[in-house]
Amino acid sequence: MILENYQIKLKRVEFEDLEYIRIARNSDFVRKNMIYQKIISKKEQQEWFKKINNPENFYFVIIHKSEKVGLINLKDVNMENKSAEGGIFLFSREFASNDISMRASIMLTDFGFYELNLKKILDRVRKDNILAIRFNKAIGYSFHELDSNVLVGELFLDEYEKFASRYRNLFNKLYNLTN
């Protein structure tokens, strides 16, 4: 499964992607912002893949010009209460401090709300991950405290749309040349 828009691709994670993701996930740049911060072994990575390689979990590699630059997900999709948990990380600061993260987030959040018909998307972030909190607020998330280290964000469609249309218009203009 591949989603494509705004000159990037979201390719569903396959077994062949695991080692590349694991190495990036274990880098200091990525790990320091994660709730789970231990180094992940090959075996743990493969066990993780078994848990997420199913219709309840959508994990995508973000691909820019044939280069794997990040991972984005909607996990624990619950079709009864129409909810899922989102997440994203870019593999390097070079890509994290670019517009790719927002292009990918708009694509996958649109997929969640309009293809999966979700009503709510959650996100858990470390309290000290100021950039992630700021980023999520910029697409409409509101946060509350889960515990002393973690915040939970909630995103609903009506709030998301107050922010998303501006990004879609900009990205269509820049990358899809519709204007």
Partner 1 sequence: MKKLDLGEFINDFASLFNDLQVQLTESTNFKEIEEWDSLVALSLIALVDEKYGIRLLGEDIRSVTTILELYQKLLSKQY
Q: Decide whether 143 or 175 has the Cβ nearer to partner 1.
A: 175
Runs of H (alpha helix) within the chain: 18-25, 28-31, 42-52, 93-96, 100-110, 130-137, 157-171
User: What is the nearest approach in angstroms of partner 1 to the Cβ of residue 102?
Assistant: 6
Binds partner 1 (CB under 8 A): choice among 42, 119, 162, 173: 173
Beta carbons of 73 and 54 less than 8 angstroms apart: no
Distance CA 50, CA 164 (A): 33
If one asks whether residue 108 binds partner 1 (CB under 8 A), the answer comes out as: no
Within 10 angstroms of residue 65's Cβ, the number of other Cβ atoms is: 8
User: What is the nearest approach in angstroms of partner 1 to the Cβ of residue 93?
Assistant: 8
CA-based nearest residue to 69, from 105, 94, 38, 39: 94
Binds partner 1 (CB under 8 A): choice among 4, 19, 94, 145: 94
Q: Decide whether 70 or 112 has the Cβ nearer to partner 1.
A: 70
Residues that bind partner 1 (CB under 8 A): 65, 94, 96-103, 131, 134-135, 138, 167, 170, 173-175
